Amino acid sequence: MTALPNEPLDAVIIGAGFTGLYQLWALRRLGLRVRVLDAASGVGGTWYWNCYPGARTDSPSNIYQYWFSDELLEEWDWKERYPGQAESERYFNHVADRFDLRRDISFNTRVDAATWDDATQRWNLATDTGETVNAQFVITALGPLSAPVVPPFEGHEKFRGRLVHTARWPREGVDLKGKRVGVIGTGATGIQVIQTIAAEVAHLSVFQRTANYAVPMTNTRYTDADRAAIRARYPHTREAIWTTFVGFDEQGETRPYFSLPPEERRATLERLWADGSLRIWVAGFMEIFFDPAASEEISDFVREKIRARIHDPKIAEKLVPRDHGFGTRRVPLENGYFDVYNRDNVDLIDLRETPIECLTADGIRTSVGEVSLDVIVLATGFDAGTGALTAIDIRGRGGRSLRDEWKREVRTTMGLQIHGYPNLFTTSAPYAPAAAFCNAPTCLQHQVQWITECIGYLRANGRKCIEPSAQAEQSWLTHHDELADQTLVAKTKSWYTGANIEGKHNRLLSYIGGVPAYREACEKVKQQHYEGFELA
């Protein structure tokens, strides 16, 4: 473990994942003394922790990467269209070595508290290693999905088998071969685990609360020719990601859904579906987000696709979502997921019909009896956007507590700063597209660039502090809410709305005005010398 520096720093970055590594690279170029702190023993963030079986990106590798270095783009060979966890982790390790980033990273170091000192106008951070560090700026690069949720089932302590959350999967793996395994959760993670382990385990019991839509993934192993073709498009791709609604590289349908005759609507959906990607969601018909009639028709199209995969019509009906429209929750890609339910060694337990009552010494008891298990996999998701921030005791001006304030209402200004917390910059925090509704690398890189330019501006202009005004924060929230209220996404229960956490704020987590509009708003603030922000 690298000891923390004794001398005061210019900036501390919390997190050595996608955002943290780039932020370190960028602030170093400004000449700042920077330290990155991470609880993990290595780089990669999400791709360090989520090493469960089948973990894989749902964004293609050509847009799930850094754009800041032409050399990096030239030398890194993606092996697949959708890289698995190991390949993604290798990429981050390569980046850390390639740019000599490790010398400024302290691993195995969790930040417990960050306290703003009104007198010195600097932050003091305390870590679980008993160390402290002092810095002018703090940038949180915690990732939107890094605080795992373990549901408070009764009897946790009684279970004699192995209980593991996907986001805390042991690095050495878990032997599932020939075991009776239960998976709770059928979100993007559960789907990946289930489709990966079904053939290996003796018996798999899937505990499903909400049925999920999923699109078949066409993953390809790239040849040299594929890579050359993808590289040739990089100049286009690196521009295109900024112009699309959710930071992917393809524009959506511009023809209004109901302006097309039914057969053309169908043909278009088939074409989007056949792409084997998230295109049908992120670059399809925008009406899925706000027009109930279009949403229903498109959802029916997907329901039909699901039914066609399942032999037993009764099981098929359990797997078909009916309580929300396609695309109003995170759409996962799948690779053999639905076919798993045609196997003899797989049972689907519908928790709406037979809820979990408790864990027992031998497994899980539902309202109709006990399921005996050797291993329980919790694919139960995250306290998205806020959980990782409130896990740290953050104290701003006058000792105010972010944890307490966010219990009442979660507030940010463009997801980048919070009124009352000077010189604290947040990435992937609520009310920016980066929190959820964006190809994460696109939006996180944009936030790093904005933060870096802002700090550069402060230094160039002899300013020490920046903090959004209460008024600017309120007007961003009002704008955010106005857009969110028009969407079906905000009316649907999911982690996007915080509905997966009891008592959490009921506001759409992610800005839903699209990447171009968000970038424009951020650019305007910058052009107007950080209007709405108080500089001291």
* Under rule CB under 6 A, residue 90 binds ligand NA7: no
Total length of the chain? 536
Report the residue number, 26 or 435, with the smaller CB distance to ligand NA7.
Answer: 435
**Sign, CA torsion 56/60/64/69:** positive
Q: How far apart are CA 243 and CA 250, in angstroms?
A: 9
Closest approach of Cβ 354 to ligand NA7, in Å? 12
* Under rule CB under 6 A, residue 454 binds ligand NA7: no
By CB under 6 A, which span of 19-27, 187-195, 275-283, 365-373 interacts with ligand NA7? 187-195
Closest approach of Cβ 397 to ligand NA7, in Å? 33
* Under rule CB under 6 A, residue 184 binds ligand NA7: yes
E strand or H helix at 132: strand 132-140
By CB under 6 A, which span of 181-189, 227-235, 451-459, 522-530 interacts with ligand NA7? 181-189
Question: How far from the centroid of its chain's Cα atoms is residue 225's Cα?
Answer: 31
Closest approach of Cβ 429 to ligand NA7, in Å? 16
Q: Helix 440-460 and helix 18-29: axis angle, to 10°? A: 30
* Under rule CB under 6 A, residue 452 binds ligand NA7: no
Q: Which residue is nearest to ligand NA7 (CB)?
A: 187
- Do the Cβ atoms of 260 and 268 come closer than 8 Å? yes
State the distance between the two ends of the chain, measured CA to CA, in whole angstroms.
Answer: 36
Report the residue number, 381 or 468, with the smaller CB distance to ligand NA7.
Answer: 381
Report the residue number, 260 or 315, with the smaller CB distance to ligand NA7.
Answer: 315
Q: How many CB atoms lie within 10 A of CB 440?
A: 24
Q: For 143, what's the count of Cα atoms within 13 Å in the CB-facing half-sphere?
A: 22
x/- site string to ligand NA7, residues 124 to 163, per CB under 6 A? ---------------------x-----x------------
- Kindly identify the residues of this chain, within the stretch 479-498, that bind ligand NA7 according to CB under 6 A: 495
* Under rule CB under 6 A, residue 424 binds ligand NA7: no
Report the residue number, 124 or 354, with the smaller CB distance to ligand NA7.
Answer: 354
x/- site string to ligand NA7, residues 336 to 355, per CB under 6 A? ---------------x----
Q: What angle do CA 476, 482, 483 make, to 5 degrees?
A: 95
Question: How far from the centroid of its chain's Cα atoms is residue 311's Cα?
Answer: 33
Q: How many CB atoms lie within 10 A of CB 3?
A: 9
Pick from 127, 189, 295, 447 the residue near ligand NA7 by CB under 6 A: 189
Tell me how many residues contact ligand NA7 (CB under 6 A). 20
Torsion of CA 301, 304, 305, 308, to 10 degrees: -160
DSSP state for residue 367 in the 8-state scheme: T
- Name every residue whose Cβ is closer than 8 Å to that of residue 69 and which is 6 or more positions away in sequence: 99
* Under rule CB under 6 A, residue 330 binds ligand NA7: yes
Pick from 209, 318, 463, 464 the residue near ligand NA7 by CB under 6 A: 209
Report the residue number, 151 or 456, with the smaller CB distance to ligand NA7.
Answer: 151
* Under rule CB under 6 A, residue 428 binds ligand NA7: no
Q: How far apart are CA 281 and CA 262, in angstroms?
A: 19
- Kindly identify the residues of this chain, within the stretch 492-531, that bind ligand NA7 according to CB under 6 A: 495, 500
Report the residue number, 106 or 427, with the smaller CB distance to ligand NA7.
Answer: 427
Count Cβ neighbours within 10 Å for each residue of 268-301 and write b for 16 or more, e otherwise: bbeebbeebbbbbbbbbbbbbbebeebbebbbeb
- Do the Cβ atoms of 222 and 79 come closer than 8 Å? yes
Pick from 84, 143, 216, 381 the residue near ligand NA7 by CB under 6 A: 381
Pick from 42, 44, 54, 185 the residue near ligand NA7 by CB under 6 A: 185
Chain residues that interact with ligand NA7, rule: CB under 6 A:
145, 151, 184-190, 209-210, 330, 351, 356, 379-382, 495, 500
